Copies of this chain bind each other. A is one copy, B any other.
Amino acid sequence: MRIGMIAALVACVFGTAGAQQRNPATQPAAVRSPEFSTDHRVTFRLYAPKATEAFLRGDFLADRVAMHKDEHGLWTVTVGPFQPDIYAYEFQLDGVRVLDPNNPAMKYSSRPREASSLLEVADDKPMFYDARRVPHGTVHERWYSSKSLDTERRIHVYTPPDYEHSSTRYPVLYLLHGAGGDDAVWTVLGHANLMLDNLIADGKLQPLVVVMTYGYAYPPNDPAYDGAQQRTGFVRDLLEDVIPFVQANYRVNTDRDKRAIAGLSMGGEQAINIGLHHPELFSRVAGFSSGFVGNFKDNYKDVLGNSQKLNADIKLLWMTCGTEDRLFAPNQEFSELLKAGGIKHTFRSTQGNHTWQVWRRALHEVAPMMFPKA
């Protein structure tokens, strides 16, 4: 009861003051958006009486969909039903990108014009990325001093259930984010920790440590961002700072046979690039919707000329990409290049676009291939 009152008071202080509050008669009491109907369709609403056009865009839609305005100024559109998953959307209101003000669930990005609202379509039973009543691992947020980049940086580290009470040295996966992401995004949007808890509880995955790095040498808004150091800077930070820090502070197995690297988009290209050029460090390599652009082939000449050694060293080389993704063609091209060079690998084409729906499933599929439960 009291909390309800606090909510009312705080909403009064910090809610939508100004123009709307001054004309309460014209304002709907509470705009519900998104709202699910019993037939599992979803209605999106936005109160914007002065706007002349509004569209809904979302990664659950092939194209943007026009919204319709009623006589009170409330824009509405109903779409779906959709498969259970977590989707991203936003409104275009007279050409302006607007997050759904009535939906607190948001997808963040470190780059402009990429934040979205989130639509979570639940299933009758928990999804593979939902919190179940199983033993849970811990996610550690750790700051470290990067000597190679001369700055304080952060990583997130997943340790499996029982890590604190065991003396095991665990296999370790270095897991990289995409452009616009950061070291938190694989847990915040990817639910990596919950997914791994579930795989371990279901006996499909060895307990492991997962290190989620910050993939930019310099943040996107840093003047140094576009320089050549961006690429080499991250590699140095990973090899000279992150891996030694992890091995000094976590009980990870330091054998290359127990060290893997994977990533999505920008991080997929980083993972494959670093993994294939450092087989002395990594034995399992995966890229999801990897950001192969430009003259990417040049970068792999040495690797392609050495297929026998690479096939012996790399126990798993796994790639996936959604067929609707604009990066599908370069991923397919890279797979053809590997094939022509005699490099053993799997290229798994999947339904979908450049979205978290693909990446959550990719991690769920590849982690048990890297470190299957014995």
Contacts and interface: CB of A to CB of B under 8 A. Distances in A.
This chain: copies in complex? 2
Interface string A121-148: 0000000000111001011111111000
Nearest to A355: B14
Given A101-B97, A108-B106, A112-B104, A187 B141 contact: yes
A312 interface: no
A18 interface: yes
A291 B10 contact: yes
Contacts of A138: 140-142
A237 interface: no
A326 interface: yes
Contacts of A141: 138-141, 187, 193
Contacts of A13: 325-327, 354
A303 interface: no
Interface in A83-132: 92-99, 101-104, 106, 108-115, 131-132
Contacts of A3: 179, 216, 225-226, 230-231, 266
A266 B6 contact: yes
Nearest to A354: B13
Interface stretch (A43-51, A280-288, A332-340): A43-51
A79 interface: no
B140 A96 contact: no
Interface in A9-53: 9-20, 46-53
A141 B50 CA distance: 44
B94 A104 contact: no
Nearest to A156: B141
Nearest to A46: B96
A13 B14 CA distance: 36
Contacts of A50: 51-52, 94-95
Contacts of A226: 1, 3-4
A13 B289 CA distance: 13
A98 B95 contact: no
A96 B93 contact: yes
A101 B97 CA distance: 7
Interface in A187-241: 187, 193-194, 197, 216, 220-221, 225-226, 228, 230-231
A344 interface: no
B143 A136 contact: yes
Given A19-B95, A145-B133, A9 B291 contact: yes
A365 B141 CA distance: 24
Contact of A9 (B11, B193, B220, B326): B326
Nearest to A273: B2
Contact of A10 (B7, B180, B228): B180
A256 interface: no
A320 interface: no
Nearest to A75: B96
Given A6-B293, A99-B99, A101-B115, 12 more contacts: A1-B231, A6-B266, A11-B111, A15-B114, A17-B57, A20-B95, A101-B112, A101-B113, A131-B143, A136-B142, A136-B152, A141-B141
13 contacts: A3-B231, A10-B178, A50-B51, A50-B52, A51-B94, A104-B108, A104-B109, A104-B111, A104-B220, A131-B143, A138-B141, A139-B140, A140-B141
- The 4 closest A-B CB pairs, nearest first, are A136-B143, A50-B94, A139-B141, A6-B291
